[in-house]
Structure 1
């Protein structure tokens, strides 16, 4: 097996593992008797993310290298001569990054992208949980019977009047 074939195999290993993980999650949902139409959008979303992560990671790694090299070139052309004239800088040997990125760099950027994707999913779940907690708190605060509701509304009106008098 040549080195190029090994790189191609490794390039598709991470998305393949992610797709297998989402299929495992799909089977868990089906076993728990969820409807299939609720699970398919989740499977579709996760599989599309796993397919697009590595090309975006490769472009991101190349973009970081190009940005670093352009910033380094700007500093060496404009700021280093000024620092040498002032006697602040004796030597400036900062090497540019090679633009040809390796598979490890692509996988590291892909890992960061997957981490960001996972954080957004967790954030959305936390927002949903917070909304549910607010709704359940409102249900606990509101009275159950009509008589209690009338007393509650009367107390609310008295509080509003008291606040209006203070202003």
Structure 2
């Protein structure tokens, strides 16, 4: 199979994966925001934190899970594709270093 077909297949497969990852990140962010709001409310009752910090924590906005746009999914897809490209580049660099090591050993043997 030609390499460009593999890369196109990966690029096509990245988009549904990016949608799932973006949705998962949105759900995690929602959970973190809920935790921050609960912590700020309990800190306000106890008086353990200064009031400006509590006000700043309570100003953190809730993230709606349905508010994901195509731009968010595309940004995650770009990040995933960059990870794929860096993995390929690292694999090529490892192969090149192995070839250089083998050729250096051959020079010293002669």
TM-score range, shorter chain: 0.7 to 0.9
RMSD: 1.5
Instruction: Look up the match of 1:18.
Output: none
Residue 74 of structure 1 and its aligned partner are, at CA, apart by: 1.9
- Structure 2: 5+ residue stretches without partners: none
- Structure 1: 5+ residue stretches without partners: 1-39, 144-167
Structure with larger Rg: 1
Bigger RCO (CA 8 Å, 6+ sep): 2
2-structure distance, mates of 1:89, 1:96:
22
- Does structure 2 conserve the Cα–Cα contact (< 8 Å) formed by 1:80 and 1:89? no
Runs of 4 or more, structure 1, over 6 Å off, are none
- 2:40 is the counterpart of 1:80: yes
- 2:19 is the counterpart of 1:58: yes
- 2:103 is the counterpart of 1:136: yes
Residue 116 of structure 1 and its aligned partner are, at CA, apart by: 0.6
- TM-score relative to the length of structure 2: 0.84
Equivalent pairs, count:
103
